Amino acid sequence: MTVGADAGLAHRQAVDAVRRGLAELPPDAPVRLRKRTSNLFRFRDGTGGLSVEGLDRVLAVDADARTADVAGMTTYSDLVAATLPHGLMPLVVPQLKTITLGGAVVGLGIESTSFRDGLPHESVLEADVLTGTGDILSTRDHPDLLSGLPNSYGTLGYALRLRIELAPVKPFVRLRHLRFDTAEETAKALAEVTATREWAGERVDFCDGVVFSADEHYVTLGEMVDTAPYLSDYTGQRIYYRSIQELAEVSGVGVDFLTIHDYLWRWDTDWFWCSRALGVQHPVVRRLWPSRYRRSDVYRRLVALDRRLGLSQALARRGGAAGVEPIIQDVEVPVDRLPEFLAFFHDEIGISPVWLCPLRQRDRRSWPLYPLDPDTTYVNVGFWSDAELAPGQAPDHHNRRIEQVLLTMDGHKSLYSTASYPREEFDALYGGEAYRELKARYDPDGRLPDLYTKTVTG
């Protein structure tokens, strides 16, 4: 096991500091983490009162056991940097560099290995959790706490240390971009890859997709390989998501090669495609925009500034709309309902492109706050943009409509952004009774916020 000389001591000091910080907060003070970065889109005024400084280290990598011990606020960028030299990676690496391991566990995460390895919390072997009572509990002794962490968003406690499984990698990834004309063909391909873990007789290690319109869909399949005849670079002038169309537009199947590092972070440079709204994809702007600032956390700060100043709202009203509604969502629908959901989405919402990521729960374990049917293949549909509001429409009109449609399709959505569910619907979707039991056990005095309050009513 590789352990930094001072990592253990520094981690214990950081743990002691955060526990003291919680104890010193006034009983009526809101408990929020003071973090440098966030990937949530529930913007709020003020800063967190509980410092987590020092809880951002990779504590150990055990190459033989294929595990890593990681402090909860460690970013996946730092985690991957520590594991790749050992020829290993986390089983699921969320697509943005500043997502933290603890955040991906308590707030969910997904990526192109999820068709095989589920969600990040499924590879957690154990965790140390600071609960609302101020106790630090190991999930070895409290397995129900580990089961309740996913989708709890810190309302049961904060993960201070996690031990996770790692998977072996090869140095390069060979990509195949497959074009399909219909959502039905796309759903069939995603279901087949998830069931067989191969396509046209070739192994599939990674799988995701992009929808550009109702008749232009792409499924991207990645296979780890030992050698590559060439390598592409999408951290400079070239743009990854555009390459999917460019490479596949002639034959229907495009081939590309990336290093494993660049593959894992292929979406971060342009925040999928959302950098175009900030002008970063314009060739002149791109040359002038420093490469160190072409990354998702920078773009998110610009969006937060826009929300505070109301610039997008003002521009929409000047153009005759009643305003704009941010629609920043990831939802899961059963693969056989994907065509139906996309038809609704194209007709009523109209945002493009849209990201697709197949998901299958790794085993039959119960995760009560985000229950998925282990016998069902789901597809995560991600869409991140604004939609104009017509006069008389509520500020959450489109988001609420998406929620209503999901209810008819046995679907879920992540809670990192706008949610408008009435309490009864919320409890039915997100383990209401199970959550209340966990809350009474691990935060009986309500020191931490309630999940519904935190994610819906604010």
* Confidence category of residue 161, pLDDT binned at 50, 70, 90: very high
Q: Give start-end residues of each CATH 3.30.465.10 domain in the chain.
A: 2-169
CA distances from 287 to 268, 274, 294, 296, 298 (A): 17, 18, 11, 18, 17
CA distance from start to end of the chain: 43
Number of H helices, E strands in the chain: 16, 19
Q: Which ranges in 118-202 belong to alpha helices (H)?
A: 143-148, 183-196
In this predicted structure, what is the pLDDT of residue 41?
A: 52
Is 80 exceeded by the pLDDT of residue 184?
yes
Closest C-alpha to 372, from 41, 110, 76, 92: 110
155: confidence class by pLDDT, cuts 50, 70, 90: very high
pTM of the model: 0.92
CATH (one of 2.20.130, 3.40.720, 3.40.50, 3.30.70) for 172-266: 3.30.70
Compute the average pLDDT of residues 176-189. Answer: 97
With b for 16 or more beta-carbon neighbours within 10 A and e for fewer, the 13-28 pattern comes to: ebbebbeebbeeeeee
Say if CB 136 and CB 19 are below 8 A apart: yes
| Averaged pLDDT for residues 38-60 | 72
pLDDT band at 221 (very low <50, low <70, confident <90, very high): very high
| CATH 3.30.70.2520 fits domain 310-420 | yes
Per-residue pLDDT tens digits for 382-407: 999 888 888 889 999 999 999 999 99
Q: Contact, 389 vs 325, CB < 8 A?
A: yes
pLDDT in tens, 358-385: 999 999 999 999 999 999 999 999 999 8
Q: Could you tell me which residues come within 8 angstroms of residue 250 by beta carbon, excluding any fewer than 6 positions away?
A: none
CA distance 164 to 158: 16
Residues 6+ away with beta carbon under 8 Å from 323: 313, 316, 317, 388, 389, 395
Q: For residue range 275-317, list pLDDT tens digits in order.
A: 888 888 899 999 988 888 888 778 777 777 767 777 777 776 7
Determine the Cα–Cα distance for residues 412 and 390; give it in Å rounded to an integer.
27
pLDDT at 31 over 90: no
304: left (phi over 0), alpha (psi -120 to 50) or beta: alpha
C-alpha 384/C-alpha 147 separation (Å) is: 29
Give the whole-angstrom CA distance, residue 179 versus residue 245: 8
Confidence at residue 29, expressed as pLDDT on a 0 to 100 scale: 73
Count of CB atoms situated within 10 Å of the CB of 277: 17
CATH 3.30.70.2520 domain extents, the chain: 310-420
Share the mean pLDDT of the chain. 91
Look at 38-47, 118-127, 223-232, 290-299 and tell me which has the smallest mean pLDDT: 38-47
How distant, in Å, are the alpha carbons of 56, 118, 357 from that of 89?
Answer: 18, 15, 19
Tokens at 56, concatenated: 């951002």
CATH 3.30.465.10 fits 2-169, yes or no: yes
